[in-house]
Structure 1
Amino acid sequence: MIIERRITFTLDDEGLPAWKLNRLKTLAGYFRSVVVIHNISQLRMANVEQAMRMISLGCMPGDLCQLMIEGSDAELACMVLTDFVTEHCHLVCTGHRHLSQREAKAEIALPFAYELSQLLPLSQLGASSLDKDGVLTQISRQCAPGQSDKAARLLEQMQAREAVSSTAMGNGIALPHILTPDVEVPVVVLAPLVQPVEWGAKRGPVSCVVGLVLPAPPLREYLLAFSSFSKRLLEPDFCQLLTEHSRPEVLKAVVLDSLSLPFR
């Protein structure tokens, strides 16, 4: 039976020097499973058995990476490689167990305050499914918890933006976004969808929605960060990261990593 496991982490100030790469290659060689390292920040990947490909990843301090492990003994390999990552990098999450807040050391910093959350599961929202308006409604409410008037204003502004043109970006992603004086810091709501939703565009249905509310007028840092994120959405490989991962800590890390790229 083929098992799949993932280990997500950020690199420390050393990055991935040759001695770490060699150690990773040695550990992976103990198992029958195939181990691939994916540098998410650089959108490059390589089998850990291929030394030159590993070097070509261009890993830099702070890069977000993921070990993808597939094979009959992937669970055991994941346990061993998690120990390696914990010792030499900053662990975000691992596929063989959930981390406590104390264990999850990785924190990708941005040079400004922000709010980032993930949409609650349908069971907690009291719904069996959501259409486009339903998703926008829930995003607006999450941007203004307990403030029905403010949430209603945000929803109205989002719907007005959608009336201009659909915010479907292609590759299964929608990016509803507004500038408004109703918020003081950028607010991001991640909404991975159980069932794809039609978003009023020829680019097809979406399976992950990223709601973005920026203060008006926006600071230069906000524009740099979110312009970087929107450009990444033009990369199919990056969009796949958002649509195939539902674990909140991975989605959060992927989004924050893309926002932080202009400031490294």
Structure 2
Amino acid sequence: MIIERRITFYCRDDGLPSYLARELRRLSNYVSSQVALVNLTQLQVADIASPLAVISLACKPGDLCQLLIEGLDAELGHLILTDYVAEHFPLVIRGGNKSAKGVDELQPCLSPSLIHFTPQQVQFFPTHQDKPELIKELVHAIPKELIRDPLQLHEALMQREALCATAMGRGIALPHTLSDSVAQPALIAGVLPESIDWHSSVGMVSRVILMLLPRHAKPTVIEGFVGLTRSLLEPLYCQALCQATHPQVLHAIISLGLRQAGRSP
């Protein structure tokens, strides 16, 4: 059975220097699992066994990256590499992070959007729920100051689903609405341990991202939602999103999508 583990981190103010790439290759040699560097910001992948390929990614400050470890001893590789990454890069899942420059210090180069979305707005649900029930619970989980009428909002979302199911494929759905019941632009994510039927021809869904726009949203807010929608067309981005199970990692990946408004389709 192949095991997969991921270490999610931000690149430092000097990106990913060559000497760190070489050390990551050396440490990866302790395990038989395949190790790759996934740059989610640039949507590129490089085999960690080739420092030249890693350097060619030209990782920039604040790039959101993952070490993807796949193999029978991926758990051991995760243990070995996490300690090293934590010493040299800001981990998304903070705790014993020893990095000299933390995630908060990198925020200016991450250009946070104007859409209200925090790690607390990543919700976990049991699998027995159907689509209407899940959307209803997501609406009620949104901070009260961001919406005016939860019942009307739920009705608007279900009317949108009746027109065309909002499944994007690859296990992700993107229900959304433009409504007077929305006081501030907001986003909330729902995570299911098993996929549910979204009544769509593109398949089942295990990740739901609910996007809410006020009637007269600013162009910058709309651009953020467009950036996320475009990101959800990228297989590499969707794979990382569907494999993530920690709220901070999910928040980081979705927030990255909101900042990708300038990326070409």
Normalised-by-shorter TM-score class: 0.7 to 0.9
In the alignment, is residue 60 of structure 1 matched against residue 60 of structure 2? yes
Structure 2 unaligned residues grouped into runs of 5+: 105-109
Corresponding residue of 1:96: none
- Aligned alpha-carbon RMSD (Å): 2.8
Pick closer, same or farther for the CA change 1:37–1:176 going to 2, 3 Å.
Answer: same
State whether residues 119 and 138 of structure 1, in contact with CA within 8 Å, keep that contact through their aligned partners in structure 2: no
Structure 1 unaligned residues grouped into runs of 5+: 94-98, 123-127
Corresponding residue of 1:21: 21
Distance 1:25 1:37 in 2: 10
Displacement of 1:234: 1.4
In the alignment, is residue 100 of structure 1 matched against residue 95 of structure 2? yes
Q: Which moved more, 1:1-10 or 1:159-168?
A: 1-10
Amino acid at match of 1:100: G
Displacement of 1:237: 2.5
Q: Which moved more, 1:108-117 or 1:134-143?
A: 108-117
Q: Which moved more, 1:220-229 or 1:74-83?
A: 74-83
Distance 2:73 2:233 in 1: 36
Pick closer, same or farther for the CA change 1:257–1:67 going to 2, 3 Å.
Answer: same
Pick closer, same or farther for the CA change 1:71–1:164 going to 2, 3 Å.
Answer: closer
State whether residues 36 and 67 of structure 2, in contact with CA within 8 Å, keep that contact through their aligned partners in structure 1: yes
State whether residues 12 and 89 of structure 1, in contact with CA within 8 Å, keep that contact through their aligned partners in structure 2: yes
Amino acid at match of 1:22: R
Give me the TM-score of the superposition, normalised by structure 2: 0.83
Distance 2:167 2:228 in 1: 14
Amino acid at match of 1:18: S
In the alignment, is residue 158 of structure 1 matched against residue 157 of structure 2? yes
Distance 2:132 2:141 in 1: 14
CA deviation digits over 1:157-205, x for unaligned, max 9? 1012112222111222110001123333322111122232222221122
Displacement of 1:147: 10
In the alignment, is residue 210 of structure 1 matched against residue 209 of structure 2? yes
Where in structure 1 do 4 or more consecutive aligned residues deviate above 6 Å?
101-104, 146-149
Displacement of 1:35: 1.9
Displacement of 1:149: 7.3
In the alignment, is residue 119 of structure 1 matched against residue 114 of structure 2? no
Displacement of 1:219: 1.1
Q: Which moved more, 1:195-204 or 1:113-122?
A: 113-122
In the alignment, is residue 85 of structure 1 matched against residue 85 of structure 2? yes
Amino acid at match of 1:260: R
In the alignment, is residue 38 of structure 1 matched against residue 38 of structure 2? yes
State whether residues 228 and 258 of structure 2, in contact with CA within 8 Å, keep that contact through their aligned partners in structure 1: yes
Corresponding residue of 2:231: 232
Aligned residues: 254
Pick closer, same or farther for the CA change 1:234–1:77 going to 2, 3 Å.
Answer: closer
Amino acid at match of 1:237: L
SS at match of 2:203: coil
Pick closer, same or farther for the CA change 1:194–1:153 going to 2, 3 Å.
Answer: same
State whether residues 141 and 148 of structure 1, in contact with CA within 8 Å, keep that contact through their aligned partners in structure 2: no
Distance 2:158 2:262 in 1: 32
